[in-house]
Amino acid sequence: MTPQALTFIANFGGVADQVAAGTGLSRWALLVQWAKETATGTQILNRNNLGNIRCSSTTFCQYATLADFGAAAIATWENGFYGAVLATAGQPVRTQLLAIGASPWDAGHYGLKECGYAGCSLIASWQTEFDSVDPQPKLRRAVTILATQNTVNLFVRGTDNALYQNRFDGSAWSGWRSLGGRMATPDIIAMRTLTGIDVFIVGQDNAAYLIASNDDGATWSPYVNLGGNLSNGQLAAIGSLTPVSGTPVDLTPVEQQLTAVGGTVNKIESALSKAGSQLQQA
């Protein structure tokens, strides 16, 4: 973290914990928001008002103590206009920051005009000043990329838990299509074989399932139940030992694009198109 961020946390971490306890939001999401509002503590223009809460359309509130600001912040979050933000309690910091960016608190200065989507300036501050701190356990991405000689195939778990494929043939993406299945975990392994492509997933019954293609992903076989009980991530472990597997890759460079359009299967094709050159090299 930057020295300025560390000082900010030391000075205001206590009130962040107060508001976090009262709302369920992460102290880190609150600190990042307040850092944005105050230029990381260098421009607190209203007494103890880290969030620049308004007392009227033309004036900002002044608070005798940080605890008073904390109580006002809790009341503001719970005033009925921020239900979508409060609904993210317990979710990752990134999710909470995006919700804050899309809320009325934004007032046009959390990023939509600056960098293209609501909350992007909060995300940038979180990443650059606060080292993307998030005490939440990291979840595996439901994305696997496999390049063959002629194509790039991207596989992802959809919001309906089916396996989806988007196929790049060297000139254009095919568009998302469902390959069916009912996935219990995000884990996907894609492998090149002597005859084509094999893809493995974990079904709702925790068994391993195989679906295969012998034409670079243009058509697929029915699912084959391979049995087993893979509820503890064994499929991912198998994949890490398979030299020719399509190992899940780090999509951090395109993560903001994916998040910006909602992260749902039917909305991320445009983001992937923008990242096409990277996907072809994966």
Q: Using one digit for the tens of pLDDT, what is the confidence trace for 230-256?
A: 655 555 434 333 333 333 333 333 333
For residue 235, the model assigns a pLDDT of 57
For residue 60, the model assigns a pLDDT of 93
For residue 116, the model assigns a pLDDT of 66
For residue 231, the model assigns a pLDDT of 56
- What are the sequence ranges of the domains in the chain? 3-128, 143-281
CATH 1.10.530.10 fits 3-128, yes or no: yes
Question: What pTM was computed for the model?
Answer: 0.51
For residue 25, the model assigns a pLDDT of 93
Tell me, letter by letter, the H, E, C secondary structure of the chain.
Answer: CCHHHHHHHHHHHHHHHHHHHHHCCCHHHHHHHHHHHHCCCCCCCCCCCCCCCECCCCCECCCCCHHHHHHHHHHHHCCCCCHHHHCCCCCCHHHHHHHHHCCHHHCCCCCHHHHCCCCHHHHHHHHHCCCCCCCCCCCCCCEEEEECCCCEEEEEECCCCCEEEEEECCCCECCCEECCCCEEEEEEEEEECCCCEEEEEEECCCCEEEEEECCCCCCCCCCEEEECCCCCCHHHHHHHCCCCECCCCCCHHHHHHHHHCCCCHHHCHHHHHHCHHHHHHC
Consecutive sets of 10 residues in the chain, 282 residues long: mean pLDDT of each? 92 94 94 94 91 92 95 95 91 89 81 71 90 63 73 85 87 87 85 87 86 91 85 46 34 36 38 43 38
